[in-house]
């Protein structure tokens, strides 16, 4: 797996902290900007990353009525981000309108279209929580598959899933359907709030296209050393 397929989250609260982390890890080419940082800094941090010729995963997990997610998707596409997330539970109409809006926003700004990918099931959720808290009667792998298939049928380029669902989704959706996997933890790291995690080597072997690896790197005493350790672990897989 090329190291450009490892996405590192900028899970910090301020622009200053974000720049400090980017400076510590110049080898990282793909960064994730999530809700906290985007709400704190707006599009400014996206602009900073693009000026440094980095790829950007704008992980906003859009979830609203069709017209609203379409408008938000169109606006996000104008930033030239590479990936954008939307919850599959918005429904088929919202997914279709958001995907169409992405193309419009990119065309208006003269940038390459953002790839819109669907959240299937948050990796912080367990099978028990899906059944007892959310009252969803399907088994978690089956539910994740149904969400991914609906996204694909709506024109989306891929989905976010835990490594545990990768093999099934690749088999059903095809090799060109992009799968982004959070919940990836090297053997020496704590799993934290990730309920369905795997090691980088395991996720790659199953067919993951991108790995999102955060706290094992960003919360390490030496982020650069942690990044290199993970790169070495993947290279040996």
By annotation, the residues acting in catalysis are 61
**Do the beta carbons of residue 61 and residue 123 sit within 8 Å?**
no
Please give the span between the terminal C-alpha atoms of the chain, in angstroms, as a whole number.
Answer: 10
Strands (DSSP E) along the chain, which ranges? 6-9, 30-34, 55-62, 83-87, 115-119, 158-160, 178-181, 210-212
- Name the nearest CA neighbour of 152 among 132, 130, 178, 171: 178
d(C-alpha 21, C-alpha 9), whole Å: 10
| Angle, vertex CA 166, rays to CA 196 and CA 132, nearest 5 | 40
Quote the CA–CA distance of 181 and 159 in Å, as a whole number: 9
In 70-121, which ranges are E strands?
83-87, 115-119
């Amino acid at each position: 797996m090329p190291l450009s397929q490892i996405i590192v989250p900028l899970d910090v609260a301020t622009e200053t902290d974000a720049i400090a982390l980017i400076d510590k890890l110049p080898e990282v080419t793909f960064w994730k900007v999530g809700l906290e940082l985007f709400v704190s800094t707006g599009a400014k941090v996206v602009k900073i990353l693009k000026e440094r010729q980095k790829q950007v995963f704008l992980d906003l997990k859009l979830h609203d009525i069709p017209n609203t997610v379409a408008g938000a998707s169109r606006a996000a596409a104008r930033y030239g981000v590479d990936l954008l997330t939307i919850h599959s539970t918005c429904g088929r109409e919202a997914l279709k309108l958001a995907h169409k809006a992405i193309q419009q926003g990119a065309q208006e700004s003269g940038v390459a279209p953002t790839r819109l990918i669907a959240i299937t099931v948050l990796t912080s959720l367990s099978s028990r929580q899906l059944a007892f808290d959310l009252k969803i009667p399907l088994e978690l792998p089956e539910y994740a598959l149904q969400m991914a298939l609906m996204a694909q049928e709506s024109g989306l380029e891929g989905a976010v899933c835990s490594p545990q669902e990768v093999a099934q989704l690749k088999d059903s959706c095809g090799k060109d359907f992009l799968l982004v996997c959070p919940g990836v933890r090297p053997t020496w790291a704590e799993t934290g709030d990730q309920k369905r995690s795997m090691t980088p080597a395991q996720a790659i072997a199953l067919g993951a296209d991108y790995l999102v690896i955060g706290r094992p790197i960003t919360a390490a005493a030496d982020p650069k050393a942690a990044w290199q350790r993970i790169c070495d672990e993947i290279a040996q897989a």
